[in-house]
Amino acid sequence: KAGVTQTPRYLIKTRGQQVTLSCSPISGHRSVSWYQQTPGQGLQFLFEYFSETQRNKGNFPGRFSGRQFSNSRSEMNVSTLELGDSALYLCASSPRAGLGTDTQYFGPGTRLTVL
Amino acid sequence: AQKITQTQPGMFVQEKEAVTLDCTYDTSDPSYGLFWYKQPSSGEMIFLIYQGSYDQQNATEGRYSLNFQKARKSANLVISASQLGDSAMYFCAMREGGTGNQFYFGTGTSLTVIP
């Protein structure tokens, strides 16, 4: 079974631009979560989607948004990029809507650099 | 209060020796799952091991075992016979029971295996 895939793997943008990252979960998995990882802040939860609905949201500004499609693929968008948005963005999938027993499996991440 | 606490920012271990990475958690939910992930320098988060709150036995997966002490709310990862490839960041995580609950991650422990 194929793992979680994320595209693109690397991205360089300039301040003020916007960016869209894509995540395809493991086949059959319906929950997708997004995380931002930086050296200073560590791993921070962005949001979680299940059945095209946002189930949970972390403490990030409205410039960060996401969506999930009917095939469970998810995209996240960051508008008006700031230097501090430079980070590794990780996507994770799990079978169901955030049950305690469900493991999350991560993709390889998208490394975003904002210049 | 922090949901997951990892108090060891960095650890060193000699090759072929065993090492214990500490993790304590905080929850009042009787149903929860505990997870350990490994993150090599490449960035991908690799799932290692899972322990459910109702599991009677400590989880084991190959060279990884989880020392689960429920009363003390600790879930330490034990890596036996360390290998050079074990050098990485290790993250402890928890998801509480029920639907729609997010994952909580600790700040991680950087493990270096010395030849």
Nearest to B38 by CA among B95, B91, B112, B103: B91
**Does residue B99 sit at the A interface (CB-CB below 8 Å)?**
yes
Residue B47, pLDDT above cutoff 80: yes
Choose among B96, B19, B16: nearest CA to B65. B19
User: How does residue B74 score in pLDDT terms, banded at 50, 70 and 90?
Assistant: very high
CA distance B36 to B31: 17
Q: What residues pair up with A20 in beta bridges, in sequence order?
A: A77
Measured CA to CA, the distance from residue A53 to residue B84 in angstroms comes to 42
Q: B97 contacts in A (CB within 8 Å)?
A: 99-101
Average pLDDT of the segment spanning A48-75 = 94
Distance of alpha carbon A104 from alpha carbon A78, whole angstroms: 23
pLDDT per residue as tens digits for the range B81-91:
999 999 999 99
> Span B66-75, mean pLDDT?
96
Of the ranges A40-49, B22-31, B80-89, B97-106, which is most confident? B80-89
Mean pLDDT value of segment B59-79: 97
pLDDT at A2: 80
Q: Is B36 on the interface with A (CB under 8 A)?
A: no
Question: DSSP labels for A61-114?
Answer: -TTEEEEE-TTS-EEEEE-S--GGG-EEEEEEEESSSS-TTPPPEE---EEEEE
Q: Model confidence at A67, in pLDDT bands (50, 70, 90)?
A: very high
pLDDT value at residue B99: 60
B33 touches chain A (CB under 8 A): yes
| Chain A positions in Cβ-Cβ contact with residue B103 (cut-off 8 Å) | 33, 45, 92, 104
Chain B residues with CB under 8 Å of A108 CB are 42-44
Are the beta carbons of B12 and B109 closer than 8 angstroms? no
DSSP letters, B1-47, are --SEE---SEEEEETT--EEE--EE----S-EEEEEEEE-TT---EE
% of chain B at pLDDT higher than 90: 83
Contact assignment for A98 to B101 by CB distance below 8 Å:
yes
Predicted pLDDT of residue A80: 96
Query: How confident is the model over A30-54, as a mean pLDDT?
Result: 92
Tokens of B105: 């991650």
Nearest to A101 among B33, B43, B102 (CB): B33
The residue of chain B nearest to residue A87, with distances taken between CA atoms, is B43
Q: Is the confidence at residue B22, as pLDDT, over 80?
A: yes
Confidence bin at B2 (pLDDT 50/70/90)? confident
- Confidence (pLDDT) at A106: 95
